[in-house]
Structures are given as structure tokens and as C-alpha cells.
Structure 1
Amino acid sequence: MHRTKIFLLLALTVCCATFLRAATVTNSIVWDNATGHVDADVHGEKLWPLLEDIAHQTGWHIFVEPGITQTTDAKFSRLPSSEALRKLLGDLNFALVPKTNEPSQLYVFTTRMENATQPVKPVKPVVKRQRHVANELIVKLKPGADIDALAKSLGAKVVGRDDKLGIYRLEFPDAAATDAALAKLQNNSDVAAVDYNYIFDPPPAPRAIANAPASSTPPLTLETPKQNDPCSPVVGLIDTQVQSLGSQLDPIMLPAISVVGDLATNNSPVPTHGTAMANSIWQAIAQASNGKSPVRILSVVVYDSSETTTSWNVALGIQAAVNGGATVLNMSLGGTTDSPILDDIVNQALAKGIVIFAAAGNQPVSAPTYPAAIPGVNDVTALGQPGQLASYANFSPQVDLALPGTAIFSYGGQSFVVQGTSPATAYATGVAAGTKGLNCPTWAQIQTAMQLKFPVPTK
């Protein structure tokens, strides 16, 4: 009897250990539509869920020959799509058929392509939970409250402060202490708002267009802006570092501001996301203003050298842009969590008459993205084709505008392309600023006209 109990205990232990190992194996495929590269780490993945995942991430229409099966074990990174498909599909035949005015089609078969008739429906996308810095909180205090005394009582350090805004960044010994302090601060009468310091993922990187000559630069004559003239708008580009745009366009850029410390000059042959957005903005300015405009762009760097940022940096970036004279803000960034701290900073800017355009996000879900979904912000999603949302584009009820989600620009003698709701947002910002600089309608008139010109298609 005793031996039987020991045997059962050992068997359950082995069974549980096997289950736990299986539970920790997470099949992962990341299909970067912006660069055309794929990362994968899959083990024992059946064909159907594999293709559902690919359909979701790419927007392709996928058809399979009925009755075929496949189990995939593959691990690789940064492979082009064609090589990735070969690794993932093994001995199966496939044909990827590009389409001009509709999603590409992928056929998977063992005999002939014509026999691949069973459609694969993409899995319902899951909204990713936004990460936060594990041991940090952002606190907004009511007037007269003492942040240093409060931090001391919580065993925290004040590692960031803006006394004028009354916001502070607190650092705790560990995640448990952070969570405990959050609960206390939510019930503290001296605290106006408190939340985690959320992390914003790196923005999509531009990719070179192979064997393509440098794209032409739309002509833009820079008029001399008048000091404090509402008809000479300044675009606050809250993003990564902006590199040199060349002798013709550098004059459009005002001296940059960084809220993440001094950054070395970026002379990389690959453009940053901020550089891509600056190009997208001035292209739209040139088109909206008939090639002549007093608009200037103020680069506000909120991403560090690792190209990640936080809600703290974004809040400081908004304030820096407003203090630097920006009258319209471009935020081609976002996350899935609404932060009361960021809401407050955005609302202060809106109250001053600052117009804000922000990206709706590159997940095809109806859940909102912030700060785009904050009331009063122009929430911009992306079109894949005229009148059709891009396969990756967010379609939440908060979305206000839909503009083209692909921008092609020249940098260092090479053509690059960037895709997503980021360039769609930059286009919107450029159209608004260019229109303002052309004949100076009110911002309300501009935004109303843009909602009529760039409506959001029904999903």
C-alpha cells in the first residue's frame, strides 16, 4: 500500500511536470509586414492553427487543399517571407500570389494549386496587454502636497519630477512594493492621480525598397513664418530622433528637444521612425499647401537609443512640445492602456487649443489605443486601398479618420517605405498643418473638413 502511494505520487509529479513544461511552451510567430521579415519559435504546431495565425498577421487570403496535415517544428529569426514559409510549411507545396487591389493569396497543397479550395479564416486577434516598468509609478499630486515626504513614507525614490505639472516618477525596491504602494496611493487624499509607468513598444521600422531609385522630393518652398502667428503652425513631432532630411528640407526642422537626455547624432544609412514621419508630414504639407508653406516641424525625442519609451517620457514630450511653441502635435505611437496621468497632460494641451493627431494602432481590433482614444484627440487609422481599411488597422469606435497607411520617401539616395497607422497619422497632421498655413481656416473647420474627406470605412 505504501509503495502504491509512492508510485502514484511519483506518477502525478511526472505528469504535472510534463503538463507544466507543455504549458510553458508558447508557439510564437511574428510577421513584420513593415520589413517583410519573420521570427518564429514553434514546436508541434498543427497546420490549421499555424495558417490561422499567418492569415491574422498578414491579412492574406489563404486556401488549403482539403485533407492535408502537417506538424511544424521551426525556430528562426529575420527570414524573408518566402524562406519563412518554406521553413514553416516543410514538404508542402505553396504559392503566394500578390494582388494589386486586394489582399495577397496563399495556396497550400500537395498535388496542384487548383485543389487548394478550403479557405482559412484568421483567428480573432487578442488585444495585447501593455507592459509597464515593474518597479515604477507616476504620481500627480494636489497643490501643496509634499512628494519627498510621501516617497519617504512609501520607501520609494523620486527619480523624475516636474514640479510645474505636479507629476513625479517614483522608484520602488521591487514589483511587490510597487503594487502595494499603488493601492495606498489610490486612497491618499493628497494624490490627484496615480498609475504605472507604461512601456510603449518600438515603432515599425522603415524598410528599403530593393532595386528602386531614390523617390522624388515634392517641391516645397518654405515661407518665412511670422512670430506668434497662428497662421504659421508648428508641428510637434513626438517620436524617435529625426536625422538630417537633406539640404532642401532641413530648414523645415526647428532645433530638436530631447526628454531622454543627450543623444549622439544619428548618421545611420537606415532612417529612424521619426525621420520617416517627418518625411510623411512634409509630403502632406506640400500637397495641402500647393508647394508653399510657413509650417515648421519641432522634433521632440521621447524614445531612447533602444527605441522604447514610457508614458512618463510621452507626458514630458507633450509638455515640451507645447512649451516649445507647437500648435499641432503628431503622436505616431500608442498603447492599449489608458493612463490618467497621460490623459491629464493631453487635456491640458487640448485646453490650450493644441490640435493632436495620434495613431489608432496596428492591431485589427475594436479595442481603443491611447492616447489616440482620449476624447478630443484625432484618432487616425490606416487605409490599405482607397475606401478599405488596411488588414492590420485598428477599427475601434473612437477612430475619427482613415488615411493611406503606406509612405514612400527618399533617404540617403535610397527609397524606403513605412507602413502602419503611424504614416497615416503623419499624413493627417501634414494635411492639417499645410491647410492652416495656406489660407488659415480655424482648426475646427480643418478637422471637420478632414472628417468629411477622410471618413473611416465600415469594417
Structure 2
Amino acid sequence: MWMLLLHAAPPIGWLPLDGAPWVGQARADDGDDGGDGDDGSASDGGASSAGSDAGTGGQDTDPGPRVPELPVQADGFSATELIALDPSPAALQRAAQWGARVVETSVQAGLGVRVVRLRLPQGIDARTALAVTNERDPGVFDLHHFYQLDQAEAAGCEGASCEPMQRMDWPAANARCGRGQTIGIVDSGVNTGLSALRGADLRVRRFVTDANATTDASHGTAVATLLVGQPGAGLPGLLPRASLRAAEPFFRLPSGTLVADALGLVKSLDWLVGNGAGVIGMSLTGPPNRVLQAAIERVQARGVLVVASVGNGGRNAAPAHPAALDGVLGATALSADLRIYWRANQGDTVDFALPGVALPAPDAEGIVRPRSGTSYAVPFLVAQLSQSLHEGLLSRADWQGGRAVPVTDLGAAGRDPVFGWGLPKVAVRCG
């Protein structure tokens, strides 16, 4: 899973929105980096890259102002900050009266949202500050939550990289899959120089406040390869001819945990929508957050489908966000024998089940390892959505309703809390 962090600058013309506040971090929904993610090791895995945003394979940086490293919080948010969604000048003035200081104002014109990050005075913790702001301005401020990737790790690489595609009846001759399509991911960095990605229409842009923050490109490289790995490179992707835009909001906390903060996620979504992504994959989970929810609602209002991992907390875990949001399609992970990933969340957030256990995929150095977790099911659902929409086989409403999607029903008849509707098997042609 990934975590999110928000920062604020001097206030400038704001438009208030209804809703409750949220602040936090997001984690990638996998455990490649030795955490609690999908790969069996950590949920902190991920990667980042920097460079220029010009041309195929280029990378862009959006570092913003340098700020001190935030303290690590076991409950998943910054103890020294709040964030606010479109706060009024009066709301900010009231917060300033007890010492809160605006450190960043981020206007995302594409989504029509403004997010303000506030630094708290010494002696006031974030929970107390939120309670104070909610007394006069309910539904404006929130904690700054963190989100992580949903990945896990296994030993030894087994199986062919094409086997997962065969499992969902993907075209064997898929060299043309993805033509005329733009897809987006919110993930860690991507090693664009990897042999499997050479020749791909791939652009990466970084959305991290601290330009010097360390990161990792293993998770993002694996997901990008699953999507646009080039034919003949040994790791063919599902949509090798698609234009992939990869937003990178993840960074490492002093503890070593790889996270993205809420503001980084909002900036990532705005950039992806502005670059024409029709489907966006978010292989990350975290707590509910009003600002992130508003941004995703704006993304959906523009006709873009959002896919998210359901999480790796197990059958009794609370619903993970953003998969729990209305209209977001939740992806869970299947093994080669069509069993559910043992760490996958269950419940109403599960829409579809796709390959996501022991998938051979490269890390940032190009070393192929088996990857497991609901995080890795996301690119398979992104590919199904994008190609089927492009060919006119299914509509956005079909996917969000679920009943019209051809599937292999793996659990109780119809939709169930373990497999959702089942394993999608849309007869795409890629012709």
C-alpha cells in the first residue's frame, strides 16, 4: 500500500466544499519491501524515479518546497499536520488563532479542488487539533493520512510470465493490445531503462514534497511491466501498445516505510486525468480521507474508471480505501489454481478477482521475482477495462454494475465477498 502526505502554502482564493476532513498516508498494497503487503514480506515496497517529462520513457519531477521529515506514526498519519479541502478564509483564520500555520496550498485545476496543508503548533497533537477545527468548521479539515502498497514476497521464481494472461483468456498474440489507449497508475517509481520497457510509451512524474526523500522503484517497475512490457523482451505486458502514465507520490519515512500522502495522491490523479488516462490503477490502501474522496469523485465525474487493490489485511480487516469508495472497482488476487490470496481483504469492496499470487515480475534492477498481493491484481483489471472499453465490448456502467461482465464465477452464485463477481474473461481481440 502507499501513504499520502499533504503540504500547504500561503492561502489564495478558496472555494469551500462540503464533506468531512481527512489527513493521512497511503501504503502500496503489496509486501515486496518487507512490510505487511501483498507479497508476503513488507508492505512498504515501491520505487520512484525522476527526470524530464518530455517524450517516451521520460520522467518529471514536481518536488515542491523542501520540508522537514515528518515523525512516524503507528496509527498512519502525521502528528504535526492537518489538511483541509477547499477551506474558506474564515476557517483558516480561525485555525490560525490557535497557532495553526498554512505551509502549502495546492490547487488542482483539472479536478477543481484546492487542498491546504497546515502545520500545528508545539503542544497540540493532530487528533486534538481536528476536534477543535470540527467544532466551528465541520467537514473541512482532516488528518494527513498515509497509504501503502499491497504487495508480498515469495522465494524463487516459478512459472512463465504469460501464464496469468492465459488464465483469463487474454489473446496469445497481444502485440497490438493497448493501441489508441492511455492508462495511468499511481505507484512507486519505474525503471524506464529496463529492457522489458524499452520502446514502451511510458512517462513518469514524481509528486513528492521533499525532493531529497529516498524511494524505491521495485513495485512500480513490476506493475508497469505487467501492463506495457514489450513483446520479445521475455516479460510481455498485457497492453504493450498503450500509453502508460505513471504518477509517483511514494517516499520513505525515516522508519523505512514506503508511503504516499493524501496530497501526493491528489496531485497524481490530477496529472493523470490531464494526460488523458481513461483508466487509473491505484495499487495502494489506507484510511478514509475526505480530500482523497473528493478528488476521486472528480476523476469519476470526468468519465475515468478507477481501480484499487482491496488490501492484504485478511478476511476480517476493515474496508480499505480507496477501494471502499463508491464507483471504485476493487481488485482481489487469485493464485494459479484459482484460490483466493490468503491475505486478501474480503467484503463489499471486492468487485473482481484476477491473477495476483506468485506472478513473475522484475524489480528495479531487472531481477525477476514472484510477486503476490492484491496490488498486482490491479494491472490485470486495468487492462481488461481499457481494452474492452476501447473495443466497445462493455461500457463503464457495465463494469461498475458487474452483472454484464463475462466471468468465471469462483464462489457463491453471483457476487460474493471473497471473489466479487469472479474472474473477468472478456473476449477482447486486440486486432
- TM-score, normalised via structure 2 length: 0.64
1:341-352 paired onto structure 2 within 5 Å = 341-352=291-302
Could you say which residue in structure 2 is the equivalent of 1:376?
327
Give how far 1:273 is off. Answer: 0.6
- Of the three residues 301, 305, 309, the one matched with 1:355 is 305
Higher relative contact order (CA 8 A, sep 6+): 2
Work out whether residues 329 and 354 of structure 1, in 8 Å CA contact, stay in contact via their aligned partners in 2.
yes
State the 1:186 CA deviation. Answer: 1.5
Distance in 2 of aligned mates of 1:224 and 1:452: 20
- 2:375 corresponds, among 422, 425, 440, to 422
Indicate the residue corresponding to 2:361 in structure 1. Answer: 409
Mind listing any 5+ residue stretches in structure 1 that lack a counterpart? 1-32, 40-56, 60-76, 79-128, 226-231
Q: 1:202 to 1:345 in 2, by over 3 A?
A: same
CA contact (8 A) 2:308 2:322 kept: yes
**Aligned residue in 1 for 2:205:** 257
Equivalences for 1:307-322 in 2 at 5 Å?
307-322=258-273
Match of 2:80 among 126, 135, 138: 135
Residue-pair matches, total: 331
Task: Provide the C-alpha distance between the structure 1 equivalents of 2:373 and 2:404, rounded to a whole number of angstroms.
Answer: 19
Equivalents in 2 of 1:182, 1:295: separation in Å? 43
**More displaced, 366-375 or 441-450?**
441-450
Alpha-carbon distance, 1:282 to partner: 3.3
Aligned: 1:278 with 2:262: no
Deviations 1:343-373, CA, capped at 9 Å, x for gaps: 1111111111110000100011342110001
1:199 to 142, 146, 150: 146
Contact 2:203/2:244 (<8 A) preserved: no
Q: CA RMSD in A?
A: 4.3
Task: State the alpha-carbon separation in 2 of the partners of residues 318 and 168 from structure 1.
Answer: 17
Q: Given that residues 285 and 435 in structure 1 are in contact (C-alpha distance below 8 angstroms), is that contact kept between their aligned partners in structure 2? A: no
Following the alignment from structure 1 to structure 2, what is the Cα–Cα distance between the partners of residues 157 and 296?
Answer: 41
Matches within 5 A, 1:230-309: 232-244=180-192, 246-247=194-195, 249-261=197-209, 272-282=218-228, 294-306=241-253, 307-309=258-260
Q: Output aligned runs, 1:96-107, within 5 Å.
A: none
Residue 333 in structure 1 maps to residue 284 in structure 2: yes
Give the conservation status (yes or no) of the 8 Å contact 1:283–1:430.
Answer: no
Query: Over residues 31-52 of structure 1, what are the superposed CA-to-partner deviations in whole Å (9 max), with x where a residue is unaligned?
Result: xx9669899xxxxxxxxxxxxx
Structure 2, unaligned stretches of length 5 or more?
1-29, 43-73, 164-171, 413-417, 419-431
Contact conserved, 2:230 with 2:237, CA < 8 A, in 1? no
Contact 1:203 1:273 in 2 (8 A): no
Kindly state the Cα deviation for residue 417 of structure 1 after the two structures are TM-superposed: 1.4
Of 113, 116, 123, which residue of structure 2 is paired with 1:168? 116
Instruction: Please identify which structure carries the higher helix content.
Output: 1
Q: Give the AA of the match of 2:355.
A: P
The one-letter code sitting in structure 1 at the alignment partner of 2:82 is: L
In 1, the alpha carbon distance for the partners of 2:177 and 2:35 equals 44
TM-fit CA distance, 1:443 = 2.7
Displacement of 1:375 in angstroms is 0.6
Change (3 A) 1:36 1:354: closer
In structure 2, relative to structure 1, the CA distance for the partners of 1:449 and 1:425 (3 Å cut) is: farther
- Answer whether contact 1:293 1:438 (CA < 8 A) is retained: no
Question: Who is 1:389 aligned against?
Answer: 340
Q: Which amino acid aligns with 2:85?
A: K
Distance 1:148 1:194, change over 3 A: closer
Identity over aligned residues, as a percent?
23
SS at match of 1:221: coil
In 1, Cα distance between the equivalents of 2:329 and 2:150? 19
The structure whose Rg is larger is: 1
SS at match of 1:403: strand
Q: Which residue of 1 aligns with 2:99?
A: 155
Q: Deviations over 1:241-271 (max 9, x none)?
A: 011263553433432121105869x9x9x96
